[in-house]
Chains A and B, each alone.
Chain A
């Protein structure tokens, strides 16, 4: 009876939007990797998609209040996995971000993202004493920073700054939504002003350089200029209608770097043209829009913060990625959620949307 009602209340629009984006993503990966050493990526992505949908189903079926109750457990588990990664992780591109179990490789940082969203929402949506003034006090805000900061610190140790930065919208969005007291802002500003020079002077030169590169990616001109130009050529040469499936020369002939991960949208734009780009952007907006609607309709603070946490992380990552493809942002190395090749990211994103669907499905108080 209850299951029947939940099915009636299911957000099919959001689900289908996600499914279509995933399907397009798998198609683009197929087109981009055929005939390259990455030719197997398509099959692996399909497998991950299956696993992702399974995890998503779990995230939908279990009441999000129950999940929130165990959020501390998930969070602790994620931290342990991140610590294990630092100890036993496989080094790829000079950072230890992969953990292998048997033949199975995944990035704990992606799992940590989902766990952090859940814990943060649980913290902000908790029952509060009536005497509490609205807005975040200094202690509340420090807790927020701690919740997000701990996994971010461990991810930065890998070091994987690209992934670490995708945690940030979570903190900013949650703080903005919950509101922050004026006194807290003043105290924070003072602390940052005092601590930053001190911390900076204690950083080792290579760490400083890494921070500088992170703040200003064009400092590393080797490669990024080429990538940008090739991406613009791919997008621009697609024209209005595109060159057709598997016919994009920039992607097929490997002028585009990372054509199946960071520049997957460029491959799509080249092969499907402006119409394809328009359709894809519309789908991404639809997904964002449905999440926001869910947040508005949520029956409690936990639901609001869950839906908004997911949408902030998702939207910021998508906007960062597409901004690079059209040359409006410097190269960052952030994958496009739902479309880029990469199992951990896909599974985590689907799981996150599972939570949003969960919130929508249970929006009505019995």
Chain B
């Protein structure tokens, strides 16, 4: 039984107990006051600061991707646009047991389980509410099938997205380029462009070079998200995305299609320019690829396969590959000799098929028939006689050859508006010191090789086309370019009015007439380019056969394995007196230039003149492609 024990406690003990109770009370009270001060500090003093942090937590800026600008040919015909693509997505939150569902999904989608598993594995680190794309770019029928079975397949949904679409597939693939997701490297290399990871950006060609114009301006909206990042609601604030500008290329779709067709299955490149401006009318690199495959999300495998392809379809052979110019270089030699007054057009020489210089014998391709006999410069160009130019080169010396090669645009970039370009090689003693440290001395024999476009000299097909248009227009070196105008606003086009003139050579008119006449002869006088002859069009050109394999001269070309056959060139312009089009056609391992390259040029020229004739009948349209 408890009894009141109060009477047992003396007065001191009771007062001591009361003091201790007070101590505990004050202690608790003090801590509470301290907490109150903490709340005051957090909620009143620092309220704005924490309010901002809380907004950062809860609001997320969602980027709205703009529509990429269109790319059209010079007449406004669309080459590249955006289309609607359907992706089948899986909502992982709606599947209880994914492993057991996979076989069903595989059957429904017609995609192997391994592929599905791989796609799910890639998304493992993403929040679960984010849907996973199981199958990309399905056709309308499949999308409709899935959409109409929402009840049976609640976990699947169809996402609509915009996708880059190259209407003609591999047509002008290297020129147009392709798009892809921005990589960490892209972001690091171009901080000024403000790329987001995974954003679709131009990766090659015009898509890359004019990405700023094409990509448009990103929009944004604010969304409330929870701690997992799931969007809870949208906030009525933000900016709509502005679509990219439409690019009107200088390209002529008709010529391009003709060129693509005529080129067949060969590897190589061809460039057709407007000699009056440097505008690119048609341009091809083969083998090509279909840029549409890169517009897909799962394109890494495709890309890797293409990168490993021994034929290197991704390589742009028009401006990134360099080859020996072969006999085409004899035209450069002639111009140099005439302008430097080393020789006149009347200079005569005798070819008996070979020439001993030093301890080496240099041959002419006509050695089997005992040489060309006596030739003037015009005949030497038409017959493409080696001996004539061996002698001429020996007389002129490498420095003057190199000087004129550079003036005519070789050994330096053409500055075409594409992301990458090689300068090619124009060798001279200075170059050799740097490039061949093991043998830094220039040997006179090397001059002899360069004189017929062999040895260390290497040029790009694009440089060749610029060279052809320089002769055609009488000495103006133009920057080749792809853009005719850019639509800056709806219906407002801004012409590309940059000066494309690189330099004017002030060639002697007599030089020009000799060269043009000789090139006319190559095609029209039973020369090497007779296959490109078009009645009444005065086609002027020079063929070239660049040696790949030493013995090729003595062996029948058809018996050699393809990769050892000579490269074929066909470089020229037309018509002779008022040139409208200039070109370089290059066929890798194509054998003789006159045999494989000339017919390709002829096909494009025929189409070109056919179009021009049609325009004369409708003069009001003529301005569309007139040289500016």
> CB within 8 Å of B: which residues of A?
65, 68-69, 125-128, 130, 134, 173, 176-177, 179, 230, 232-240, 249-250, 253-255, 269, 273-274, 277-278, 281, 284-285, 288-289, 292, 295-296, 299-302, 304, 308, 311-312, 315, 319, 322-323, 326-328, 365
Q: Cβ of B11: which chain A residues have Cβ within 8 Å of it?
A: none
Query: Which residues, 4 to 43 on B, are CB-close (under 8 Å) to A?
Result: 4-6, 8-9, 13, 16-18, 20-21, 23-25, 28-29, 31-32, 34-36, 38-40, 42-43
* Partner of B4 from A179, A289, A299 at Cβ < 8 Å: A299
Q: Is there contact, CB below 8 Å, between B50 and A237?
A: yes
Using CB atoms, name the residue of chain A closest to B9. A301
20 new A-B pairs (CB below 8 Å) besides A233-B57, A269-B42, A302-B5?
A: A127-B8, A128-B5, A134-B16, A233-B54, A235-B50, A236-B50, A237-B47, A237-B51, A253-B57, A254-B228, A273-B43, A284-B32, A285-B28, A292-B25, A300-B2, A301-B9, A319-B28, A319-B32, A328-B35, A365-B4
Contact of B24 among A68, A233, A292, A323 (CB under 8 A): A292
Bound-state Cα–Cα, A125 to B6, Å: 10
Candidate in A173, A255, A328 with the most chain B CB atoms within 10 angstroms? A255
The answer on a CB contact under 8 Å between B3 and A127 is: yes
Q: Which residues of A contact B23 (CB under 8 A)?
A: 176
Chain A residues whose CB sits within 8 angstroms of the CB of B43 once the complex forms: 235-236, 238-240, 269, 273-274, 277
CA distance A179 to B517 in the complex (A): 124
Q: Is B53 an interface residue (CB 8 A)?
A: yes
B183-191, B219-227, B272-280: which lies at the A interface?
B219-227
In the complex with contacts A65-B2, A237-B54, A323-B35, A315-B42 CB distance below 8 A: no
Best-buried of A237, A254, A284, A365 by chain B (most CB within 10 Å): A237
Known contacts A176-B20, A239-B51, A289-B25, A255 near B39 by CB under 8 Å: no
The interface residues of chain B lying within 8 Å CB-to-CB of A365 are 4
| Distance between A179 CB and nearest chain B CB, rounded to angstroms | 7
Given contact pairs A239-B44, A274-B39, A319-B35, A255 touches B28 in the complex (Cβ within 8 A): no
Question: Which of B2, B8, B58 is the one whose CB lies under 8 Å from A69?
Answer: B2
Contact A255 B35 (CB under 8 A): no
Complex Cα distance, B5 from A295, in Å, reads 14
| Complex Cα spacing A230 to B24, Å | 32
Task: Choose one: B4, B38, B227; the contact of A255 (CB below 8 Å).
Answer: B227
Tell me whether B232 is interfacial, beta carbon within 8 Å. yes
Which residues of the partner chain A approach B228 to less than 8 Å between Cβ atoms? 254
Known A239-B43, A284-B32, A300-B6: A253·B24 in contact at CB below 8 Å: no
B143 CB → nearest A CB, Å:
33
A316 vs B3: C-alpha distance in the bound complex, in angstroms?
A: 31
Q: In chain A, what residue has the closest Cβ to B45?
A: A236
Contact check: which of A237, A299, A326, A327 meets B53 at CB < 8 Å? A237
Once bound together, how far apart are the Cα atoms of A237 and B54, in whole Å? 6
Can you spell out 25 A-B residue pairs with CB atoms less than 8 angstroms apart? A69-B2, A126-B5, A128-B5, A176-B24, A177-B17, A179-B16, A179-B20, A234-B54, A236-B50, A237-B47, A238-B47, A239-B43, A239-B47, A240-B47, A250-B58, A253-B224, A269-B43, A277-B43, A281-B36, A285-B32, A292-B24, A301-B5, A302-B5, A311-B28, A326-B38
* Cβ–Cβ < 8 Å partners of A299 in chain B: 4, 6
Residues of B within 8 A of A (CB): 2-6, 8-9, 13, 16-18, 20-21, 23-25, 28-29, 31-32, 34-36, 38-40, 42-44, 46-47, 49-51, 53-54, 57-58, 224-228, 232
Q: Are B224 and A269 in contact (CB under 8 A)?
A: no
Instruction: Establish whether residues A312 and B8, one from each chain, have CB atoms under 8 Å apart when the complex forms.
Output: no
**From B35, which residue of chain A is reached at the shortest CB distance?**
A322
Chain B residue numbers with a CB within 8 Å of A239 are 43-44, 47, 51
Q: What residues of B have a CB within 8 angstroms of the CB of A125 in the complex?
A: 2, 5
Once A254-B228, A312-B24 are accepted as A-B contacts, the answer to whether A130 and B8 lie under 8 Å apart by CB is: yes
Among B13, B29, B40, B50, the one with the most A-chain Cβ atoms within 10 Å of its Cβ is B50
Q: How far is the CB of B93 from chain A (nearest CB, A)?
A: 12
The distance in angstroms between the C-alpha atoms of A68 and B36, with both chains bound, is 37
- Point out the residues of chain B lying under 8 angstroms from A233, CB to CB: 50, 53-54, 57
Measured CB to CB, the closest approach of chain A to B312, in angstroms, equals: 50
A249 x B5 contact (CB < 8 A):
no
Whether the pair B6, A127 counts as a contact (CB closer than 8 A) is: no
Tell me whether A253 and B38 are in contact (CB under 8 A): no
Q: Using Cβ atoms and an 8 Å threshold, which residues of chain A touch B224?
A: 249, 253
CA distance A254 to B225 in the complex (A): 10
A295 touching B21 in the complex, CB below 8 Å, given contacts A239-B44, A240-B44, A253-B224: yes
Residues on B with C-beta less than 8 A from A302 are 2, 5
- State whether A253 and B5 are in contact (beta carbons under 8 Å apart), knowing that A176-B20, A237-B47, A304-B17 are contacts in the complex: no
Are the C-beta atoms of B54 and A249 separated by less than 8 Å? Answer: yes
Do B42 and A235 touch (CB < 8 A)? yes
The docked-state distance in angstroms from the alpha carbon of A232 to that of B53 is: 10
Q: In whole angstroms, what is the CA distance A116 to B567 when docked?
A: 100
Tell me which of A125, A128, A238, A273 has the highest count of chain B C-beta atoms within 10 A of its own C-beta: A238
Name the residue on A nearest B52 (C-beta).
A237
Q: Quick one: which of B32, B39, B43 has the most chain A CB within 10 A?
A: B43
B24 to chain A, nearest CB (A): 6
| Cα of A365 to Cα of B7 in the assembled complex, Å | 12
**List of B residues within 8 angstroms of A300 by Cβ:** 2, 4-6
B45: min CB distance to chain A, Å: 9
Q: For residue B26, which residue of chain A has the nearest CB?
A: A292
- Asked whether A274 and B44 contact (CB < 8 A) given A253-B224, A319-B28, the answer is yes
The distance in angstroms between the C-alpha atoms of A365 and B6, with both chains bound, is 11
Kindly state the separation between the CA atoms of A17 and B612 in the bound complex, as whole angstroms.
Answer: 98
Specify which chain A residues have a CB less than 8 angstroms from the CB of B35 in the assembled complex.
281, 319, 322-323, 326, 328
Q: How close is A284's CB to chain B, nearest CB, in angstroms? A: 7
Which residue on B lies nearest to A328, using beta carbons?
B38
Task: Determine if B21 and A278 form an interchain contact, defined as CB atoms under 8 angstroms apart.
Answer: no
Shortest C-beta distance, A122 to chain B (Å), equals 8
Residue from the list B17, B34, B232 in contact with A253, Cβ < 8 A: B232
**Cα A322 to Cα B24 with chains together (Å):** 18
Nearest-neighbor residue (CB-CB) of A234 within chain B: B54
- B34 x A250 contact (CB < 8 A): no
